């Protein structure tokens, strides 16, 4: 029996409609339009596509969006100055520095320079710390998108054994922490697997929920998945002229009970959660501005 497809495009579209309605209400009440600024350094084609998709989503949801496109030879000092200027601009609510950056720039230094209040990717240590403590200002976009898909698909997460493949700062680590928290699509027992994990396949076979974010095309094969497990594929890899995930979709879909496709699964959710964070940032900063002006 083939797995039920968890349609990220459909769920994201519904969420974007809801966010657009909230933006309209926020504008009517405050006179403020949420403003997301993206910074793109260099000409990486994939990064350019990601940024364009984010800008299009902003426009459709009633956000203002601005793109700063910088040459590949931009220095770290020049990029830091731009980030500082954006931090200090009261009309900017969210700052997104598209990764990867050119090799002459220290990515961590740039991400650390973004003020936590405008860090709508939730990469800053302050925001990560708040998330770990269960009192988030913002939630990391991709893991939050995964949680929303688990909710939309009716997956029972509480008490389930979730295996997260990958330990990146962007997906793996925050995903595991969010699943183990109290709340919706959480309260799971979580195992994190990575390149040094012994018997990774065996651990994966124990999972009720598999979240693949390991960055290797078709890494998760059918023999690694317990019959009836829910499989969420975060990966996106170009193989020839095809985009494939970290999961061997066809064979795994014959074993799993539900699965996300690539493309059309987690990707659209990441953008929807970015919009949600930017609206939250606009609300926070507008409230702070109002209090400061009294």
Residue tagged active-site, from 14, 25, 27, 98: 98
CA distance 111 to 116: 10
Catalytic pick among 118, 119, 121, 233 = 121
226 catalytic? Reply is no
Query: Is 119 one of the annotated active-site residues of the chain?
Result: no
Kindly tell me the sign of the dihedral angle through the C-alpha atoms of 206, 210, 216, 218.
positive
Each residue's pLDDT tens digit, 134-193: 999 999 999 999 999 999 999 999 999 999 999 999 999 999 999 999 999 999 999 999
Bridging pattern class, strands 242-244 and 237-239: antiparallel
Strands (DSSP E) found in 27-185? 35-41, 64-70, 94-97, 161-165
Band (pLDDT 50/70/90 cuts) for residue 45 is confident
Instruction: State yes or no: pLDDT of 291 exceeds 80.
Output: no
Give pLDDT, residue 292. 44
* Segment 238-251 mean pLDDT: 94
CA 204 from chain centre, in angstroms, equals 23
**Block residue for tokens 């999961």:** 247
Contact 192, 176 (CB under 8 A): yes
15 pLDDT band (50/70/90 cuts)? very high
Q: Is 65 exposed, middle or buried (0-12, 13-18, 19+ CB in 10 A)?
A: buried
Look at residue 192 in the predicted model and tell me its pLDDT: 98
Per-domain residue ranges of the chain: 31-116, 141-266
pLDDT (tens digit per residue) in 97-127: 999 999 999 999 999 999 999 999 999 999 9
54 is catalytic: yes
* Fold of the 31-116 domain: Rossmann fold (3.40.50)
Mean per-residue pLDDT, 262-281: 97
Mean pLDDT of the chain: 95
Direct distance between the N- and C-terminal alpha carbons of the chain, in angstroms, rounded to an integer:
63
d(CA 127, CA 120): 9
- pLDDT-derived band at 1 (thresholds 50, 70, 90) equals low
- One fold for 31-116 and 141-266: yes
Assigned CATH for 141-266: 3.40.50.720
Task: Over range 16-37, report the average pLDDT.
Answer: 97
């Amino acid at each position: 029996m083939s797995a039920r497809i968890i349609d990220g495009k459909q769920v994201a579209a519904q969420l974007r409609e809801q966010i657009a309605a909230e933006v309209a209400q926020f504008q009517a009440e405050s006179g403020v339009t949420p403003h997301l600024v993206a910074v793109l350094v260099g000409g990486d084609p994939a990064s350019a596509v990601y940024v364009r998709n984010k800008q299009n989503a902003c426009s459709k949801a009633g956000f203002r969006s601005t793109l700063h496109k910088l040459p590949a030879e931009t220095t770290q000092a020049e990029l830091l100055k731009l980030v500082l200027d954006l931090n200090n601009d009261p009309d900017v609510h969210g700052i997104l520095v598209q990764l990867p950056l050119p090799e002459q720039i220290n990515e961590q230094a740039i991400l650390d320079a973004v003020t936590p209040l405008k860090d709508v990717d939730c990469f800053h240590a302050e925001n990560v710390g708040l998330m770990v403590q269960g009192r988030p200002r913002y939630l990391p976009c991709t893991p939050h998108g995964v949680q929303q898909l688990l909710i939309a698909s009716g997956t029972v997460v509480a008490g389930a054994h979730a295996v997260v493949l990958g330990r990146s700062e962007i997906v793996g680590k925050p995903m595991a922490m969010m699943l183990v928290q109290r709340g919706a699509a959480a309260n799971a027992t979580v195992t994190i697997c990575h390149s040094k994990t012994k018997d990774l396949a065996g651990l994966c076979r124990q999972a009720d929920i598999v979240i693949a974010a390991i960055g290797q095309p078709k890494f998760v094969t059918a023999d690694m998945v317990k019959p009836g497990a829910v499989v969420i594929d975060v990966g996106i890899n170009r193989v020839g002229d095809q985009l494939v995930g970290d999961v061997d979709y066809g064979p795994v879909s014959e074993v799993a009970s539900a699965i996300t496709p690539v493309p059309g699964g987690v990707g659209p959710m990441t953008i929807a959660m970015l919009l949600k964070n930017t609206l939250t940032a606009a609300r926070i900063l507008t409230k702070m501005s109002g209090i400061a002006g009294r």
